[in-house]
Structure 1
Amino acid sequence: MLATLDQHLLDNSVRGGLRGGTRLLVEFLYFGVKEARACLFVALFFAAVFLVPRAGILGLPRYDVLLVAALAIQVWMAWAGLETWDELKAVCLFHAVGFALEVFKVSGAIQSWSYPDFAYTKVLGVPLFSGFMYAAVGSYIIQAWRLLDLRIRHHPPYWMAVLVALLIYVNFFTHHYIGDYRWYLAACALGLYARTTVVFRPLDRERRMPLLLGFVLVGFFIWLAENISTFRGVWRYPNQLGAWSAVHVSKWSSWSLLVVMTFTIVAHLKHIKARIHIPEG
């Protein structure tokens, strides 16, 4: 559908008529449509989070229903060609990385948050569907990269980007023992990506945005989704056990750093694939 619409508007006679406010409006519309398409897994998964009752469906506990829903969405997207097999494998990687973090955070020694309901698919106190919340972030970045034809200008050296991403991930674990170095890592990321620009194409012209702004914006929307999820009681922080309260705004920074890490994984996978691909002929 998107390809058909693109071809229609890229026709010379139509493209020649797109100027001024009309062009801005059409490009904004296309940007919105492609962003919505990139958020397809996110939207469907969190619709399930919002709509599935706490009691579950047909005797199946809620967490198990959410796992079935997440798997069904992924299988459907792959079958329908909305997600490539390479993208699906990357999403599985994000699921594994996120699930490992969840197990640590929910463990008895840490208990940063908890999943209060019963489920057949809980492992070490963590329902298996939880990894898909992290996979949703990776899915969005992967899809947006392809649909908006993303390119990165002034990307820092990959070894430096990977090092910062690893330190961000490690800090999610170690800050319980040796102090939280989140703001130091944020400062490193700020310096590392200060000149980095995302070049994207909503229609037929390139547009630019500072990559750091993208990190912050995506982190904000994840924070909003987290508020919705905790309001629905999917998981709870210790201060929400008695009555629900908004997730502290400081979590926004944590999510933004998680986006930095996720973006780095995607960019590194794209970089590796570009280096190993040998054109035929």
Structure 2
Amino acid sequence: MRRLASAVVATLLTLTTLAACSDEPAPDTRWQPRPGLAWQWQLDGKVDPSVDVPVYDIDGFENTADDVARLHRDGRKVICYVNVGAWEDFRPDRRAFPRSVLGKPNGWHGERWLDIRRLALLRPLMERRFDMCRDKGFDAVEPDLVEGYGNDTGFPLTARDQLRYNRMIAAIAHERGLAVGLKNDLAQIPHLLDDFDFAVNEECAQYDECALLEPFISAGKAVFHVEYAQPTARFCPTARKLRLSSMRKNPELDTWRRPC
């Protein structure tokens, strides 16, 4: 909405003051991974630091501050994997989740979808998880299962519910100085590109969806991509053309990798 010049000046001064008082760091103080960075994704147990790549994505609960510090000493950036869309019965904070937010099993052992409409209940739980990532020294967060609205969760979730929740998750990360990646959720990339610092994708080549990730690349933001079934000869030419950070992994995400 256009306003008189004096009103515009007053508004800008107010916004400048509010920005100076904000707890959220300026965007350029966060790590911003650029397209083409090689990476390792290991969620199966404690990290093996022997892979010579600049980025590691590892489980936030199963790895310690010392593990993160060791990777930093080797010149790595480290992403903290955290499940934000499902309850896990094997996590130390499992009892903090009210039963009212637990939905149907999601197909992974010990996991149930969360009712992401319940922001007031879930926000403090996710804040504590992201506090853990920050306190262990991680540079970024990979929030998993941020597309529950497209699944049979047991709740009538909508695309709008998912956008609201995903933006909350991104804000929680940014308030702690952490970069944050959008995991899959390809349909909502046009709405969430400005909220997320990079993307993490599984099997876009398998489903002929990799072109949908191009907005991240055009914005100078990395796309960390894996395939599980396709051989590298089939997806790597496209991945190189699109400047994706691509590799083949075992579905259990152990240490094995075959990069493009």
Bigger strand fraction: 2
Q: Which has the higher helix share?
A: 1
Structure number, greater radius of gyration: 1
Structure 2 length-normalised TM: 0.25
Alignment TM-score, normalising by the size of structure 1? 0.24
